[in-house]
Amino acid sequence: MSQPERYDLAVIGTGLAGMAAAVFASSRGLRVVQAGSTGAISYTSGVFDVLGALPATREGQPARPVERPFEALPELLRDEPGHPYALLDPEDIRLAFHELMDFLRGAGLPYRAGGERNFLLPTPAGTLKHSWCVPETALPGCEALAQGAPACIVAIEGMKGFSARQVAVNLAPHWPGLTTARVAMPGHPGGEVYPEQVARMLEVPAARKALAEALAPLLGQARVVGLPAVLGMHRPGDVAADMERLLGRPVFEIPTMPPGVPGIRLKETFEGLLPGRGVALFCQQKMVGPLPAPGEPFRLRVAGQPVEHHVLADRALLCSGRFLGGGLGGLRGRPLTETVFGLPVAQPEDRAQWYRQDYLDPRGHAVHRAGLRVDAALRPLGRDGAPAHEGLYAAGSILAGQDWIRMKCGAGVAIATAFKAVTTLAGAR
């Protein structure tokens, strides 16, 4: 067998944290090897939250939406001192986002960050989401909502889980003058249609023209038009601009149920561009191996395909996510485990405490705050409370002390901790 290839950094995981880490590390000249199931990232809504809500701390309290995420950080950290944001300079969160946004803009996926305030954007249920950084294709919706400009929400025939009436009826108290329309996607044979199909169809100018023609008579007084997120798979900004030209008014996207188009765009963008930046990316594969002795490099096996690869890496960044990602495991009658290196997991005493009785309890569930404890440099701690290995770092949702689902801080934790870990380990090299 040939000598294993040697890398500066092994990134374990291809969710948002792993992908962001690979971008940051390759920009800093590190030789990166990365593996993971890229499906993980297509589940994300495409909207990047920093902090959207503060869970209740006492029974009977409501959870509160957050309008100004950076202003709310001290309050979050007072209630949740173990949150990974406690290890970051808020300025690093902004820097991290802007570096990733530059990369995405270059790839044709422009995002807009909200300055001091969160954007308020409609969800497919007709609730409002507070998010700090949104794809530019969602922006006209945020603006129209903020101004109360009349809009028409359009549903596509045969697309399950997206009801224009649901969005409009539920948003009516916040957004006067909302109307709805429903169109069949021209050129689609009928029956069920998925957002991804429509997005790929709309890459073609003729399809956009046909859709605009079908839509035009339905829009009435609307000054903007909201569609489920289907405005093309690549370069959605161009598709949106063309639709705006054809309809004579701005068009915006509303996220759909996972896996939705904005998530798939991210997946395809990272998958497509990282190899060109020198990242050795192994998609749909796992990277496993023992924790090396102090001073020794990581000897990792890239597994899951008929041909296995062995790699050597001076450092490793664990971005393996939680249960859905596979980084944490939870079986009956056993404590939660970290699945790659068997690191200790901070967690509730037993399974009966994982979840509260009420699903929507505004305090959130203890199981989501379980995860890896890390030192100030984001190195996971071993059983003795010291870093498990001097070259092992962790980032993303696997970190303990955060509940991204309830705090709406998923992308923020993923991107900012990846940034901090990469800048730290690049500096320490």
- Tell me which residues touch ligand FAD (CB under 6 A): 12-18, 35-37, 40, 43-45, 47-49, 258, 286-288, 319-322, 324-327, 340, 396-398, 404, 410-411, 414
| Interface segment toward other proteins; rule CB under 8 A; list 21-29, 292-300, 309-317, 353-361 | 353-361
* Residue at token pair 């090299």: 429
Cβ proximity to ligand FAD: between 36 and 140 the closer is: 36
Q: Are 195 and 121 in contact (CB under 8 A)?
A: no
Q: Are 213 and 207 in contact (CB under 8 A)?
A: no
- Interaction partner, residue 69 (other proteins, ligand FAD, none; CB < 5-8 Å by kind): none
Contact between 192 and other proteins (CB under 8 A)? yes
Contact between 348 and other proteins (CB under 8 A)? no
Cβ proximity to other proteins: between 191 and 306 the closer is: 191
- Please provide the DSSP assignment of 247-273 as one string: HTS-EEEE--SSS-HHHHHHHHHHHHH
Q: Are 285 and 169 in contact (CB under 8 A)?
A: no
Q: How many CB atoms lie within 10 A of CB 4?
A: 16
- Please provide the DSSP assignment of 209-227 as one string: HHHHHHHGGG-TT-SEEEE
User: Which of 75, 116, 127, 220 forms a contact with other proteins (CB under 8 A)?
Assistant: 127
- 48 - beta bridge partners? 133
- Interaction partner, residue 123 (ligand FAD, other proteins, none; CB < 5-8 Å by kind): other proteins
User: Which of 355, 366, 375, 377 forms a contact with other proteins (CB under 8 A)?
Assistant: 355
Cβ proximity to other proteins: between 177 and 335 the closer is: 335
Contact between 406 and other proteins (CB under 8 A)? yes
Contacts of 211 (CB under 8 A, 6+ apart): 183, 185, 186, 202, 243
| Interface segment toward other proteins; rule CB under 8 A; list 89-97, 250-258, 340-348, 388-396 | 250-258
- Please provide the DSSP assignment of 194-210 as one string: -HHHHHHHTTSHHHHHH
Structure tokens at 12: 């374990």
Contact between 123 and other proteins (CB under 8 A)? yes
- CA 234 to chain CA centroid, nearest Å: 18
Contact between 354 and other proteins (CB under 8 A)? yes
Contact between 148 and other proteins (CB under 8 A)? no
Cβ proximity to ligand FAD: between 242 and 338 the closer is: 338
User: Which of 1, 307, 352, 376 forms a contact with other proteins (CB under 8 A)?
Assistant: 352
In 115-163, which residue ranges form alpha helices assigned H by DSSP?
139-147
Q: How far apart are CA 351 and CA 284, in angstroms?
A: 30
Residue 100's φ and ψ, nearest 5 degrees, are: -70, -40
Cβ proximity to ligand FAD: between 286 and 365 the closer is: 286
Q: What is the CA radius of gyration of the chain?
A: 22
- Interaction partner, residue 37 (other proteins, ligand FAD, none; CB < 5-8 Å by kind): ligand FAD
| Interface segment toward other proteins; rule CB under 8 A; list 152-160, 298-306, 309-317, 338-346 | 152-160
Q: How far apart are CA 99 and CA 111, in angstroms?
A: 11
Cβ proximity to ligand FAD: between 180 and 285 the closer is: 285
| Interface segment toward other proteins; rule CB under 8 A; list 68-76, 217-225, 290-298, 330-338 | 330-338
- CA 416 to chain CA centroid, nearest Å: 12
Contact between 45 and other proteins (CB under 8 A)? yes
Q: Are 369 and 402 in contact (CB under 8 A)?
A: yes
Q: Residues interacting with other proteins, by CB under 8 A?
A: 43, 45, 52-53, 62-65, 123-129, 155, 158, 160-163, 165-166, 169-170, 173, 189-192, 255, 257-258, 322-324, 330-333, 351-352, 354-355, 357-362, 365, 367-368, 404-406, 408, 410
